Amino acid sequence: MAKILGIESTAHSFGAGMVDESAILSNVRSMYEPTEGGIRPSEAARHHRGVADKILEKAMVAAPDAVAYSASPGIGSCLNVGAEVVGRLATELKIPVIPVNHIIAHLEIGFRTTTAKDPVVVFVSGGNTQIIANHKGWKIFGETLDTALGNAIDKLARKLDMSHPGGPKLEKLALQGQKILEMPYVVKGMDLSYSGIFTHASRLLEGGATPADVAFSFQEHCFAMLVEVAERAVAHTGKPEILLVGGVAQNKRLFEMFKIMCSERGAEMFVVPAEFAGDNGAMIAHSGLLRLKKGWTIKPEQIAYFQRMRVNEEPYTRILAKRGTKLSSTHIFE
Ligand code: ATP
């Protein structure tokens, strides 16, 4: 049974995990926490380089048959560390390399760790807010037009002097909220906007509003917008399931609001387990395993990374295209 090592390094976390067909064998990570402000790319890369050996030592519970890595999307300097580590390992161990789209990995680990079959997927993380469903390949039904939900949450948390990542701390503070304050609710068709609501919440704080009320009202508005768009995607696609993935999926109030909508619609609700919600190496290993079965491997000298990529794209395809290889449609969709 093939054992795959997965390396994640797109943003704040350096992670490594191993999977085979029957089990998730390991999942280890270290998160870079900026002393102040948001992620500084060069500092994050330095963190990743510093912890890589230790994380790999813990995660490599068996000899891997192939190594998968997050090839896109992400912060250039952070992706670069993953590419370096993978190149070194693959050359030393003489094993093939599998490039993985980080967004697709967030989705696929949701499928592996829940019993969802064909859901509308709500992907909410620091860098992304997308409502996605499978229709001859992944299609984005709605998304944020500006700031991602996790990023908006982190920005408000920073304003409240909370350290990164702010999500869990803001969630705790919101529990103490007593009254709902009016905030912008911006849904445009199937898309959302979170930048105006952050500015509004900041002004309320500057005007003396209670932090707990602001946190509570911010969450209620942001989450309601997401539930509305996801509900419409369920109605449009006729898919009777919702799957929440990405770091923000750990928020209990978000889960509760989705659960209410699903029970009103007779839809089933799934959420990725907390261990696999944020960036992690096991999800990359799992997506690597799926791609190994298709033969989507590259050699260490072909390793490349891309800062931008949508959910319907495979880095494998781009790497082949860079080398002038003619593509078949099976390279793009399953
Ligand atoms: P991407 O995966 O799109 O590249 P990322 O690496 O920042 O972005 P994740 O690791 O999936 O994303 O998620 C991190 C985000 O999840 C942060 O914005 C963090 O604040 C948020 N988050 C984590 N726990 C919670 C929580 N309990 N409530 C709300 N947000 C949360």
Q: For 52-70, how does the pLDDT look when each residue is reduced to its tens digit (9 = 90+)? A: 999 999 999 999 999 999 9
- CA 264 to centroid of ligand 1, rounded, Å: 28
pLDDT (0 to 100) of residue 333:
33
The mean pLDDT value of the chain amounts to 95
Q: Which residues have a Cβ under 8 Å from the Cβ of 309 and sit 6 or more positions away?
A: 72, 73, 101, 103, 315, 318
- Using the atom order of ligand 1, give the atom closest to the CA of residue 74: 4
- Using the atom order of ligand 1, give the atom closest to the CA of residue 10: 4
pLDDT (0 to 100) of residue 323:
66
- The string of pLDDT tens digits covering residues 21-55 is 999 999 999 999 988 878 899 999 999 999 999 99
- The string of pLDDT tens digits covering residues 142-179 is 999 999 999 999 999 999 999 989 999 999 999 999 99
What is the spatial order of strands in the sheet that 241-245 belongs to? 138-143, 129-134, 120-124, 241-245, 268-271
pLDDT at 317 over 90: yes
pLDDT (0 to 100) of residue 195:
93
pLDDT (0 to 100) of residue 35:
82
Percentages of the chain per state (helix, strand, coil), in multiples of 5: 45, 20, 35
- The string of pLDDT tens digits covering residues 101-121 is 999 999 999 999 999 999 999
Residue identified by tokens 């103490």 is: 176
Ligand 1 in reach of 153 Cβ (< 6 A): yes
Q: Which residues have a Cβ under 8 Å from the Cβ of 136 and sit 6 or more positions away?
A: 333
Query: Are 201 and 218 within 8 A, CB to CB?
Result: yes
Return the residue whose CA atom lies nearest to atom 1 of ligand 1: 127
pLDDT (0 to 100) of residue 331:
36
pLDDT (0 to 100) of residue 194:
97
Residues 250-279 have a mean pLDDT of 97
pLDDT (0 to 100) of residue 328:
42
**Where residue 324 falls among pLDDT bands split at 50, 70, 90?**
low
Domain with CATH 3.30.420.40 in the chain: 4-106+278-333, 116-271
For domain 116-271, which architecture applies? Answer: 2-Layer Sandwich (3.30)
- CA 247 to centroid of ligand 1, rounded, Å: 3
pLDDT at 332 over 70: no
pLDDT (0 to 100) of residue 87:
97
Ligand 1 in reach of 122 Cβ (< 6 A): no
pLDDT at 136 over 90: no
Residues 238-247 have a mean pLDDT of 97
Ligand 1 in reach of 251 Cβ (< 6 A): yes
Which amino acid makes up residue 37?
Answer: G
Structure-model confidence comparison of residues 322 and 290, the more confident one: 290
pTM confidence score: 0.94
Q: CATH number of 4-106+278-333: 3.40.50.300, 3.40.50.360, 3.20.20.70, 3.30.420.40?
A: 3.30.420.40
Ligand 1 in reach of 125 Cβ (< 6 A): yes
Q: Give percent above pLDDT 90 in the chain.
A: 92
Token pair for 306: 């891309």
Residues 298-310 have a mean pLDDT of 96
pLDDT (0 to 100) of residue 327:
45
To test the pocket of ligand 1, the residue of 279, 287, 308, 309 to mutate (highest count of ligand atoms within 8 Å of its CB) is 279
